[in-house]
Structure 1
Amino acid sequence: MSDPDPLAWETLESNTAYSCPGFEVVHERVRLPDGTETGFDSVADPAAVVVLGFTPEGEVVVIEEWRQAVERMSRGLPAGTVEPGEEVEQAARREFEEETGYIAAEMELLTTVEPLNGLADSVHHHFVAHGCRPTGSRELDDNESIRVDTAEYDDLLGALANDDLRDGRSALCLLYHARFGAESGVP
């Protein structure tokens, strides 16, 4: 085992300060590298998947979903939580079908990121899917209000530039695919 990084914090105590469906707020007492003891609060958030799904015609499957936190409809890519014991690709296929009714012929991991690692332990797995057809069945969660559509890939990239697509998970997935998709072997 390697020596800990000299900038690492030591966790002295940890407890759940608040719990609700979907996440927990964790309070920790930590010791900083200089010996100072202080508190640190973070969000414990289950892993999530995001799917950039292409139809056989090359259009992207998109959703519009009400987002209460920002009080508006949000346009983006299907995404959702990885269930306990579930493999990430299995979760991507399940969430994609449940939210859109589309089933992917092919599904490949594009990248994995920690989008809020200064605030939360979130891990997002971004996938690219091909051969997506509306042959599945939608099964929305009780708190989901989703409209499904398709869009041209270049139009979605343009929507990012015009501030018309603001969902961070979707933006990252589209931009990563545009820049690195072909280079990483994920067309």
Structure 2
Amino acid sequence: MNEAPARADDVHLREETLASETVFQGRLLEVRRDRIRLPDGAEATREFIVHSGAVMIVPLLDDGRLVMERQWRYPLAQVMLEFPAGKLDAGEATRDCAQRELFEETGYRAREWALAGVLHNAIAYSSERIEIWFARGLTAGERRLDDGEFLDLQLCTVDELDRRCAAGEVTDAKTLIGLQWLQNWRVGRWAIPGFSP
């Protein structure tokens, strides 16, 4: 697990790992239980998920619409509207993963790619790191879904997605953050290196 270097003013908050145990090792993630020392010297347990990382893509069509996906999410037992995303393969560069996932899930290829930033969607219990990529100059093609992958594509305007988020119809954290980044970028508040609004 990557650890950020300690800042001098954060030392009083740091926790020290005393022992680490893998409770479950799956194909997608690992569940770990660590015994730790708290800043006051007491001991505690931390249970968390170790995840290899993922990407999310905000695909922008030339007419301003967004390429979205509707997909059944088993843990919630419902169909969710979300931006295309996927897990990194071992040793895979994140941009390569973004390009692969966009093509496989939507059939689109992009002429321009830019990394907007990173999000950690569940910091209390997961190490998952999701890179947010923007893609434009899209060309449609035939998608190649993985075995066992079922999803529908849906095109949305930014305003339509915003309304659905405000109404509580879209609750996926990465999609909410992707929309926030897009809206702030479009009005010049947030930068996406290599992309101009």
Normalised to the residue count of structure 2, the TM-score between the two structures is 0.87
- Size of the aligned set, in residue pairs, is 186
Residues 1:38 and 2:54 aligned together: no
Partners in 2 of 1:141 and 1:20 — Cα distance?
18
Tell me the secondary structure at the aligned position of residue 138 of structure 2: coil
In structure 1, what is the equivalent of residue 155 of structure 2? 150
Residues 1:133 and 2:145 aligned together: no
Partners in 2 of 1:142 and 1:16 — Cα distance?
29
Tell me the secondary structure at the aligned position of residue 12 of structure 2: coil
In structure 2, what is the equivalent of residue 97 of structure 1? 103
Question: Among residues 146, 159, 166, which one is paired with 2:164 in the alignment?
Answer: 159
Per-residue CA deviation, residues 6-44 of structure 1 (Å, 9 max, x unaligned), is: 221111111210122211110111111111122211001
Give yes or no for contact 1:97–1:103 (8 Å, CA) kept in 2. yes
Per-residue CA deviation, residues 125-158 of structure 1 (Å, 9 max, x unaligned), is: 11111111212x4232333211112111211111
Letter in 1 for 2:41: G
Question: Among residues 170, 174, 177, which one is paired with 2:182 in the alignment?
Answer: 177
Partners in 1 of 2:120 and 2:80 — Cα distance?
21
Correspondence 1:44-63 to 2 at 5 A: 44-63=50-69
Tell me the secondary structure at the aligned position of residue 62 of structure 1: strand
Give yes or no for contact 1:63–1:147 (8 Å, CA) kept in 2. yes
Question: Among residues 46, 61, 67, which one is paired with 2:73 in the alignment?
Answer: 67
> Structure 2 regions of 5+ residues with no counterpart?
none
In structure 2, what is the equivalent of residue 9 of structure 1? 15
Partners in 1 of 2:101 and 2:135 — Cα distance?
12
> Structure 1 regions of 5+ residues with no counterpart?
none
Partners in 2 of 1:83 and 1:138 — Cα distance?
19
Letter in 2 for 1:75: L
Partners in 1 of 2:147 and 2:24 — Cα distance?
22
Tell me the secondary structure at the aligned position of residue 107 of structure 1: strand
Partners in 1 of 2:99 and 2:33 — Cα distance?
34
Normalised to the residue count of structure 1, the TM-score between the two structures is 0.92
Partners in 2 of 1:113 and 1:62 — Cα distance?
19
